[in-house]
Each structure stands twice: as C-alpha cells, then as structure tokens.
Amino acid sequence: MTLKEPAARIRKSSEQVRSAVHQAVIDLLSDSAGADLTIPAIAQRAGVNHTSIYRRWGGLEALLADVVTTRLERDWPLTDTGTLRGDLTAWVEAGVESIRTPEGRVLVRAVVLSMPSSAPTQAERAQQFRRRLHSIERIRERAAARGETPPPVEEILDQLIAPLYLRAIFGIDLPASGYAELLVDRLLGDVGAPGPA
C-alpha cells in the first residue's frame, strides 16, 4: 500500500468510516439539495463499500438521523452557564455561528430532510422531532432543577428554533451581532440582563 493508493482501498477504522460517511452525506446535500442522496452515491463519495453502510445503519433514514443527531450535538453544543437565560443564549449563539457557514445551513436542510414525509402520523413526526431537539428538554430540566421556570417547549421552538431554521433554509441574512440575545429577550422578556456599559 502506497500513499497514492485511492482512499477507497485504505482500510478504515470503524470511526473513520462513520466520519467519512457523515461527511459524504453533508457534501452530497451541499451539491444537490438531496436529489442524489442515495446509499450508493454516499458510499462512493465516502470511499467505502455500500454494504458497510447498509450493515451499520440499515438504510438512508437511520443514517440521516445519525448524521443530524451527531452534528447538532457537535455544532449546537450545550453549556451549563448557571442560568436559564445564559444556557439558552449560549446554545442559540452556537446555532447562529453554525448557520453562518454553508455547512451549518446544509445541516439544517438535513434535519428537514430527515423528518419523515406525510406517511407517518403527526404524532410520530412530532416525536422524531423532539428526539432531534432533546437539547431543549435538557435545558428546561436543568432550569427546573435550579428552581427556574422555563417556558414551554412550543414557545422555545416558535421563538428560538424557528427563526434560525427559517433563516438557514431561506438564506436570509443574520444580524451582524446580538441576534441570540435578541431572540432570548423576546422569549423570556427583556428583564434588564446586565450587559457592557
């Protein structure tokens, strides 16, 4: 085996396969908005055998779900700042920074695509969505444990997640700064959080 060996021939570790396959999904979505997102195309792009993908993930739907869960955890991380307002602001700030990048906008499109279409029931769709966004539940539980009263999940979806997703999907400009604080102020009410003088 030499350095010129094509990528497909180099034996990859399990984690390398996973990482290459995830990146191939994001790359294909960047190129074509999903029309070419098939297991053979992903396998070719990742330089792995398509049977490895079927064996590991079972199919496209489970693979997409794994990609979005993994990437959302990495790119929209949670920080325990000690307050509900701080936790929400840090989380939304990370999301804003992510969707400033082309790959971050593709991730949001991947979340949309990973939702089942009209065949499953509304309840199944909603449950899948909640699983993708369990960050909201973690932030709410942490706040409740501190004695704070977090807003309902639906308000967090409407006022924090929805604007970010809409702007990512439609490529609407983001304010240069202060957008996370603005959204959190709208949600919680602007109670005079301390800021720079």
Point out which residues bind a copy of itself (CB under 8 A): 29-35, 102, 105-106, 109, 112-113, 115-118, 122, 125-126, 129, 154, 157-159, 161-163, 165-167, 169-173, 183, 186
Q: Toward a copy of itself, which CB reaches closer, 17 or 37?
A: 37
Q: Toward a copy of itself, which CB reaches closer, 53 or 111?
A: 111
The whole-angstrom distance between residue 121's C-alpha and the CA centroid of its chain comes to 23
State both tokens at 12: 């990859």
Q: Toward a copy of itself, which CB reaches closer, 94 or 169?
A: 169
Strand, helix or coil at 121? coil
- For the chain, the C-alpha Rg in angstroms (whole number) is 19
Q: Is 35 exposed, middle or buried (0-12, 13-18, 19+ CB in 10 A)?
A: exposed
**Rounded least distance, CB 117 to a copy of itself, Å:** 3
Q: Toward a copy of itself, which CB reaches closer, 16 or 61?
A: 61
**Rounded least distance, CB 10 to a copy of itself, Å:** 29
**Rounded least distance, CB 164 to a copy of itself, Å:** 8
Q: Is 59 exposed, middle or buried (0-12, 13-18, 19+ CB in 10 A)?
A: exposed
